[in-house]
Structure 1
């Protein structure tokens, strides 16, 4: 029953045509995310509260820059904004952002998806009474991030506008009270959810790209602590037991410590972005398919179904028209002549395969050339060794000298040739070889 209870601070009326149109910039999201991360890791006390500045032109409100806010504890124990510090910091931001001029348009904090809580009213009323009476509230939902509910491209945040309502909750009466200056007399301040769109500038695109590239080098803090504690534990074990076996290193930790170059980081960031985009596209296609499969059958597609004037389940025609418009744009993305497109695709594929084959043949020729060079070196070394100590050398008769050391004959010169063939006359003094017949 508690889960179905409505938030008393939420208005029962929906956003009308006169409601503000909010444009949210990614720089605000980066600031909020960075503030929450530092606040959590440093274990800082107190809530997360910050201000948002932007432009307001009629009903169009832009949220462009956000910054942290210094909080102090009041006499009643409630957390409030330091007025002097906040006024000085706001003037500094106005001085920096002069063209175009930015002013306070809202503030952000953490909250549940159910809506604002009573402790948010004090800060919201202070901002309305002192700085901007039409300030908006950006409520970030950390529970949605932890539980993994922020899927399908929906950001885990909600933007609210405040209004004064009585017991009836008439929107026209409320707007008349605000114009006449009688708002708040016997009425209660409530919040109404607004729709928003995400707008990105050139500078923000560079910042988001830098953050996406830096995300490839992010490491887990707990994992780093475990890796630093492991050597100390091994050292204590080695001191207590001299013959203890060395602990085997974890291969996963070793793989994570491999340094990446700038090209690898850029490639990793690009592949990660493409993977996330494909996953998001697949999730949305599955969602549309599930929605269409759950629709009741219609007599327009099946003639056996009887036509009823008041069907029990009415489909959402707005969603169906959007799906039909999406399907009607698909032929614009596909080529008009599919046969020609398929032929060109086959030709490009053949060119790629031919290029790969030529590269493979070139590599094989290079390897064969290297093999030929090595074979020539080995063959020349073998021939030179054979000419020095083999059959074709100066000591041709079995490699023996023509005379012994004492000068007497005993070498290969006085031996009969093999098979009665011809021999060579070797001059002992000069070592020259003269062809002749041994008799």
Structure 2
């Protein structure tokens, strides 16, 4: 850590100011930031990638709620300069869907605020006078061992100005927060915790099948070992076991059995055909909905166009062609 970074950290820790904000953090931003960090680790094959995003929420006086987030881009070749065109575009898109949400801050991943974050913070003041900073601390590090420390590895900070020796400098003041969840959010979080849909169910099913096949393979190898030792005279013959083993082998379909191969191929083709018909039915349903929507949209247009078409035969008293007499 550079000397400048150390100085900025000491400034944040040395400040005794307390924030008067009442901050509420919803589960969706927690999930989004965690997923953002995990995805960048895999994409960049790095244990500490640079993570940057925007916070969306509502503010009523000193009461602030962080409701949603979206990722931000950095202009390449210009250092850590935020792509403001991308930020404005994404903010306006969210505004169209969620009119009550405003840009209230930004998030990143770091153990504690440093000078790098103060420089980034100044780029967001054009969108919000006092943008909040939400830090994800993946290593579980804490800034102060206070009694209000949160169980989650997140720290929220409010920007402020500190005056020392007739000089002002930017600092961050830690803001305590509470996790706020609605009924719909509790259902979504529970759904995510239980696996998040059919993908995890399929994985669980495949794991069960794998364990069953593995157990079957181990038992087959045990029987093969027993027969080998009996043939080699290393094990005592158990005629009951050998008769049961011979009956089991006789009941198995031989690999060269044409009837077994034909039956297997028939079942495989039936499964493939069922999957194809399911996909075809789904596509036909989507197409049917699209046609219905098209008919609804064009119905009023055709009704308005009809009377004008019938009145085009005579305009301004000038006889026009009688369309009804044409064959």
State TM-score, norm by structure 2. Answer: 0.52
- Aligned-residue CA RMSD in angstroms? 3.2
Q: Which residue of 1 aligns with 2:14?
A: 12
Q: CA deviation at 1:53?
A: 0.5
- Alpha-carbon distance in 2 for matches of 1:218, 1:165: 54
* Pair 1:80-2:77 in alignment: no
Q: Which residue of 1 aligns with 2:179?
A: 198
Q: CA deviation at 1:72?
A: 1.5
Aligned with residue 144 of structure 1, among 140, 143, 161: 140
- Alpha-carbon distance in 2 for matches of 1:95, 1:196: 28
Q: Which residue of 2 aligns with 1:118?
A: 115
- Off by >6 Å, runs of 4+ in structure 1: none
* Pair 1:157-2:159 in alignment: no
What do the CA deviations read for 1:281-325 (whole angstroms, capped 9, x no partner)?
A: xxxxxxxxxxxxxxxxxxxxxxxxxxxxxxxxxxxxxxxxxxxxx
Q: Which residue of 2 aligns with 1:108?
A: 107
What do the CA deviations read for 1:192-226 (whole angstroms, capped 9, x no partner)?
A: 11111110012211210111110794999xxx9xx
Q: CA deviation at 1:191?
A: 0.7
Flag the structure with more relative contact order, 1 or 2, with Cα contacts below 8 A and sequence separation at least 6: 2
How many residues align? The count is: 191
What do the CA deviations read for 1:143-172 (whole angstroms, capped 9, x no partner)?
A: 118xxx9xx97111110111111216xxxx
* Pair 1:127-2:135 in alignment: no
SS of the residue corresponding to residue 40 of structure 2 reads helix
Listed as ranges, the gaps of 5+ residues in structure 2 are 211-327
Instruction: Name the CA shift for 1:215/1:94 in 2 (closer, same or farther; >3 Å).
Output: closer
- Alpha-carbon distance in 2 for matches of 1:219, 1:42: 25
Q: Which has the larger radius of gyration?
A: 1
State TM-score, norm by structure 1. Answer: 0.40
Instruction: Name the CA shift for 1:71/1:209 in 2 (closer, same or farther; >3 Å).
Output: same
Structure with the bigger percentage of helix: 2
SS of the residue corresponding to residue 193 of structure 1 reads strand
Listed as ranges, the gaps of 5+ residues in structure 1 are 169-184, 228-439
Q: Which residue of 1 aligns with 2:67?
A: 64
- Alpha-carbon distance in 1 for matches of 2:101, 2:152: 24
- Alpha-carbon distance in 2 for matches of 1:50, 1:133: 17
The question of whether the paired residues in 2 share the 8 Å contact of 1:9 and 1:117 is answered with no
Q: CA deviation at 1:74?
A: 5.0
SS of the residue corresponding to residue 81 of structure 2 reads strand
